């Protein structure tokens, strides 16, 4: 049975995602995303499940940065999980008396309107996770009056739900990824996604366009691009890319090789089945057969068999 680290403690949305992605796995709660990923790198866990982006707040930048640094980890699965938030408090608490709310920064963003409307005078403090906030609020003498978390966190830690479905949108989804140390890739399914991090050799004019061109000329459709600061100064970035296809596909392999040639460094983050199982539209001349036929034709003309 694999042991998987996750952003804990029990009752986080990440735990819910892990239960779906790996129902039989042993769960190792970690205090934050870096700790969950380090547990994999140190061999304390066989893998980890961490949040990557949210449909309302965008990327979980800590995860992007932690996947770009340290020893390489590979994404081997993803999950899109609908997230619903509840306002949880110790029994007997009234909303009017709530002055200090505790929750994960992503939850603060996703419940902004509820907080402004129903808790205008409350101070909202960032916690390492929604369930960590609920765990803290449940402690006698806690400095916090309420937590924003999943309803199940209230059940775990003995809190009552004062309000449910408090997110600004009812259709919010968070994307989670399951990562492991480098090893065999998942087999191509025809509905895959590939992720990588690219570091520019320099920021000459058009450098970003050159990277994008490596995808477009081969008909590889980008689904996400995020710039993240390298820390070397304002304007110095590295880039996270998600795109359709599996690195075993000729067009994807050619695009990734092209990036490898023009960038100072490329970190491959994996090819894995898409959570939405959507198959890409293959542009004319960019299918595996097209690449194979073109390679044969090139061999022929290089030997004068024109
Ligand atoms: O704190 C949690 O419960 C988490 O699983 C983290 C997290 C996140 O990082 O976005 C996951 C889903 C929600 O968007 C809120 C928080």
Query: Which of 5, 11, 14 to probe ligand 1 with, by most ligand atoms within 8 A of CB?
Result: 14
Residue 120 shares a structural domain with residue 228? no
For residue 239, the cross-strand partners are 198, 227
Whole-number Å distance between alpha carbons of 243 and 154 = 38
Distances, alpha carbon 277 to alpha carbons 23, 66, 94, in Å: 20, 27, 44
Tell me what pLDDT residue 201 has: 78
Closest CA to 109 of 165, 144, 161, 58: 58
Residue 73 pLDDT class (50, 70, 90 cuts)? very high
pTM score, whole prediction: 0.95
Residue 23 shares a structural domain with residue 69? yes
Whole-number Å distance between alpha carbons of 125 and 148 = 11
Residue 199 shares a structural domain with residue 271? yes
> Ligand 1 center to residue 161 CA distance, Å?
18
Closest CA to 242 of 219, 283, 270, 200: 270
Residue 58 shares a structural domain with residue 123? no
Can you say whether the dihedral through the CA atoms of 28, 30, 33, 34 is positive or negative?
negative
> Ligand 1 center to residue 106 CA distance, Å?
6
- The answer to whether 76 and 98 have CB atoms below 8 angstroms apart is no
Q: How many CB atoms lie within 10 A of CB 259?
A: 19
Contacts of 207 (CB under 8 A, 6+ apart): 200, 201
Q: In what order do the strands lie in the sheet with 160-164?
A: 123-126, 100-103, 146-149, 86-89, 160-164
> Ligand 1 center to residue 283 CA distance, Å?
37
Residue 277 shares a structural domain with residue 213? yes
Closest CA to 89 of 137, 150, 30, 29: 137
Tell me what pLDDT residue 204 has: 83
Mean pLDDT of 150-160: 97
Task: Give me the active site residues, please.
Answer: 174, 176
- The answer to whether 83 and 13 have CB atoms below 8 angstroms apart is yes
Residue 20 shares a structural domain with residue 113? no
Residue 216 shares a structural domain with residue 306? yes
Tell me what pLDDT residue 230 has: 92
CA-proximal residue: ligand 1, atom 1 (nearest): 129
Mean pLDDT of 12-41: 98
Query: Residue 265 has what DSSP assignment?
Result: E
Residue 242 shares a structural domain with residue 197? yes
List residues near ligand 1 (CB under 6 A): 7, 12-14, 51, 54, 60, 83, 104, 106-107, 129-131, 174
- Number of domains composing the chain: 3
CATH code, domain carrying 104: 3.40.190.10
- The answer to whether 228 and 277 have CB atoms below 8 angstroms apart is no
Measured from the CA of 149, which atom of ligand 1 is nearest? Answer: 3
Measured from the CA of 172, which atom of ligand 1 is nearest? Answer: 14
Task: Tell me the per-residue pLDDT of 227-266, one tens digit each, with 9 for 90 and over.
Answer: 999 998 888 899 999 999 999 999 999 999 999 999 999 9
- The answer to whether 71 and 183 have CB atoms below 8 angstroms apart is no
Residue 6 shares a structural domain with residue 109? no
Query: Which of 174, 176, 177, 178 to probe ligand 1 with, by most ligand atoms within 8 A of CB?
Result: 174
Calculate Rg over the CA atoms of the chain.
23
pLDDT above 90: residue 267? yes
Burial 167-204 (b: 16+ CB within 10 A, else e): beeeebebbbbbbbeeeebbebeebbbbbbbbebeeee
Determine the structural domain holding residue 31 and report its residue range. Answer: 1-83+173-183
Measured from the CA of 17, which atom of ligand 1 is nearest? Answer: 5
Residue 106 shares a structural domain with residue 36? no
| Domain boundary pick from 164, 196, 225 | 164
Whole-number Å distance between alpha carbons of 8 and 15 = 7
> Ligand 1 center to residue 129 CA distance, Å?
6
Residue 3 shares a structural domain with residue 61? yes
Mean pLDDT of 92-119: 96
| Domain boundary pick from 118, 133, 164 | 164
Residue 73 shares a structural domain with residue 90? no
pLDDT above 90: residue 58? yes
- ipTM of this predicted complex? 0.98
| Domain boundary pick from 164, 199, 222 | 164
Cα-to-chain-centroid distance, residue 153: 22
CATH code, domain carrying 189: 3.30.70.260
């Amino acid at each position: 049975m694999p042991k998987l680290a996750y952003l804990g403690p029990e009752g986080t949305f990440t735990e819910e995602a892990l239960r779906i992605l790996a129902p039989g796995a042993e769960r190792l709660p970690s205090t934050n995303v870096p700790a969950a990923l380090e547990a994999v790198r140190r061999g304390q866990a066989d893998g980890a499940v961490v949040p990557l982006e949210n449909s309302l707040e965008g990327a979980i930048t800590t995860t992007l940065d932690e996947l770009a640094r340290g020893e390489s980890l590979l994404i081997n699965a993803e999950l899109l999980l609908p997230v619903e938030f509840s306002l949880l408090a110790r029994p007997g608490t009234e909303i009017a008396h709530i002055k200090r709310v505790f929750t994960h920064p992503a939850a603060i963003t996703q419940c902004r309107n509820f907080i402004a409307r129903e808790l205008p005078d409350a101070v909202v403090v960032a916690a390492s996770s929604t369930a960590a906030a609920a765990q803290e609020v449940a402690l006698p003498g806690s400095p916090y009056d309420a937590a924003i978390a999943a309803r199940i966190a209230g059940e775990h830690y003995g809190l009552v739900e004062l309000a449910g479905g408090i997110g600004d949108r009812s259709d919010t989804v968070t994307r989670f990824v399951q990562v492991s140390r480098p090893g065999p890739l998942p087999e191509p399914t025809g509905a895959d996604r590939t992720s990588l991090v690219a570091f520019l050799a320099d920021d000459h004019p058009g450098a970003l366009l050159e990277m994008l061109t490596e995808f477009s000329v081969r008909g590889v459709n980008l689904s996400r691009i995020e710039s993240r600061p390298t820390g070397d100064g304002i304007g110095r970035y590295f880039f996270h890319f998600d795109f359709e296809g599996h690195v075993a596909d000729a067009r994807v392999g050619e695009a990734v090789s092209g990036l490898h040639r023009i960038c100072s460094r490329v970190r491959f983050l994996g090819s894995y089945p898409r959570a939405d199982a959507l198959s890409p539209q293959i542009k004319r001349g960019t299918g595996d057969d097209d690449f194979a036929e073109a390679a044969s034709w090139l061999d022929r003309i290089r030997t004068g068999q024109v």
